[in-house]
Amino acid sequence: MWYVIEGYDDQDVLAQRLQVRPQHLARLQALNDQGRLLLAGPCPAIDSEDPGPAGFSGSVVIAAFDSLAQAQEWAETDPYVAAGVYVRTQVRPFRKVLP
């Protein structure tokens, strides 16, 4: 089943985000390689493709897991969580309708 994983950035964590981004992206690439990633990306903190020093307010990942518990475990072990980038994460089931 698909699950939407939302990570919410803490304040002033752009430096930490950039430092652990390669590890974060490697996990997403692994999901993609397994055909389990629907989409992933950050949410700019301002209305701009490149928010610069304003950074990001969080991220959204939609990926397939066997259960909600597995999706939650994957979210909790994200490098952004360990580095203190995400102040919290939320995982919910997702049903893809379109396209």
Tell me the domains of the chain and their CATH numbers.
Answer: 2-94 (3.30.70.1060)
CB 62 within 8 A of CB 4: yes
For CA atoms 24, 30, 36, 38, the dihedral sign is: positive
pLDDT at 48: 97
Q: Which two tokens stand for residue 41?
A: 């990306």
Q: What is the pTM of this model?
A: 0.95
d(CA 11, CA 9) in angstroms, rounded, equals 7
pLDDT at 3: 98
* 46-96: pLDDT as tens digits: 999 999 999 999 999 999 999 999 999 999 999 999 999 999 999 999 999
Quick one: pLDDT band at residue 30, thresholds 50, 70, 90? Answer: very high
pLDDT at 59: 98
pLDDT at 2: 98
pLDDT at 39: 98
CB 40 within 8 A of CB 59: yes
Provide DSSP, 41-91.
Answer: EEEESSSSSS-GGG-EEEEEEEEE-SSHHHHHHHHHT-HHHHTT-EEEEEE
